[in-house]
């Protein structure tokens, strides 16, 4: 699972670097060595964090759902009624 997450991270990083940051059809920021604006780096970092958060959640819920849940998910009623004490 770690290899899948690392592969998706590197593919997302490569895609953002090659395409840049766009809003609809307008190029907002391009990534160039030693010439990228700080706002572009911040926007790229936010895109990477959001994509990894979604990827980690979807992978753990589909590949390993037992590890993503905490404890037993069954409901047990511990109350006893006076009329139904033999349950």
Question: What does the pLDDT read at residue 35?
Answer: 81
Question: What does the pLDDT read at residue 30?
Answer: 83
**Domain annotation covers residue 36:** yes
Q: How many domains does the chain have?
A: 1
Count, in order, helices (H) and strands (E) of the chain. Answer: 3, 2
Question: What does the pLDDT read at residue 57?
Answer: 80
- Residue range of the domain that includes 54: 2-68
**Domain annotation covers residue 87:** no
Low-confidence spans in the chain with pLDDT less than 50: none
**Domain annotation covers residue 57:** yes
Question: What does the pLDDT read at residue 19?
Answer: 84
């Amino acid at each position: 699972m770690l290899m899948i997450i690392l592969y998706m991270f590197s593919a997302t990083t490569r895609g953002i670097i090659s395409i840049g940051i766009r809003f609809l059809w307008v190029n907002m920021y391009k990534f160039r060595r030693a010439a990228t604006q700080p706002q572009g780096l911040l926007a790229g970092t936010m895109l990477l964090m959001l994509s990894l958060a979604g990827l980690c959640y979807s992978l753990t819920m589909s590949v390993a759902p037992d590890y993503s849940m905490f404890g037993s998910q069954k409901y047990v009623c511990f109350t006893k009624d006076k009329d139904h004490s033999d349950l």
